[in-house]
Every structure is written in structure tokens, then in C-alpha cells.
Amino acid sequence: MTNRSIIHINEELCNGCGVCISPCAEGALELVDGKAKVIREELCDGAGFCLGVCPTGALTLEVRDADLFSEKAVEDMKIKIAGHYIPQTCNFCHTTEDDAYLLPIKHKGEALWVCTRCLPKLIHQ
């Protein structure tokens, strides 16, 4: 255990949509009984890439005592979940993350994905 940054999930706000599961490259999040859960603390690096995609604001970072992040545990998990992820798509051109880099963005409270091809158009709007 160590005092570090880790994801906090507000169960009251979580609607179980599952949008946060795939963006977590470490496989730390799963839906359990209709709510997102950090299945093992050692898989969550606290980087917060999942925060931007949550449509309800259920995800935040907190600093608390948690198991140390483990690269080894992540590598084992990546082997386990390989081929089972759901590719995200750009909300503007529908390109998948298999074909382009996607970034999470927010607009008027809505969580969106944008690919690097569409991003320049948004910047210049």
C-alpha cells in the first residue's frame, strides 16, 4: 500500500453505460452489477484517461492508500483482454481507433471522441 492518485467512482452518478471500460488501456475497469468498478488497484495508474469519457461525471481522481501500480499486472491483463476490447469511434467521422488516434474531448457537458484528422477542424471553428 502507498498513498497515491487513483480513480474514484461515484456509484450514485454511474449509470453503467460502460463507456469508460475500453479507454482504460490497463484493463482496470469492469462493469460489476451494472456499475463501473476498479477490479484491482494495481491495474489503475491514476492517469485519468477515463475521466473525460464519462457522460455523468462519475469518475474523479482521489489520493488515498491503495495498492502500488504494477506494470507486470497490466502486462498480464493485456494478454487476458487482447482482442476483447470494443474499438471507440470518432464522433465526427466515425473512424475507429484501429485506424486513427482518438482523443477524449468534452463539449457542452457531452463526452466525445475526436480523431486527429477531425481535431484541426474543431480547433478552427
Which residues in this chain contact ligand SF4 in the complex, by CB under 6 A? Answer: 9, 14-20, 36, 53-54, 56, 58-59
Q: Which is nearer to ligand SF4, 19 or 44 (CB)?
A: 19
Which residue has 473512424 as its cell numbers?
A: 95
Least distance (Å) between residue 54 CB and ligand SF4? 3
Least distance (Å) between residue 120 CB and ligand SF4? 27
Q: Which is nearer to ligand SF4, 105 or 117 (CB)?
A: 105
Q: Which is nearer to ligand SF4, 89 or 117 (CB)?
A: 89
Q: Which is nearer to ligand SF4, 18 or 46 (CB)?
A: 18
* 92/76 Cα distance (integer angstroms): 34
Residue type, 76: D
Q: How far is CA 15 from CA 32, 40, 60, in A?
A: 12, 21, 15
Least distance (Å) between residue 100 CB and ligand SF4? 22
Least distance (Å) between residue 85 CB and ligand SF4? 15
Phi, psi of 119, rounded to the nearest 5 degrees: -55, -45
Q: Name 62's bridge partners.
A: 6
CA 1 to chain centre: 23
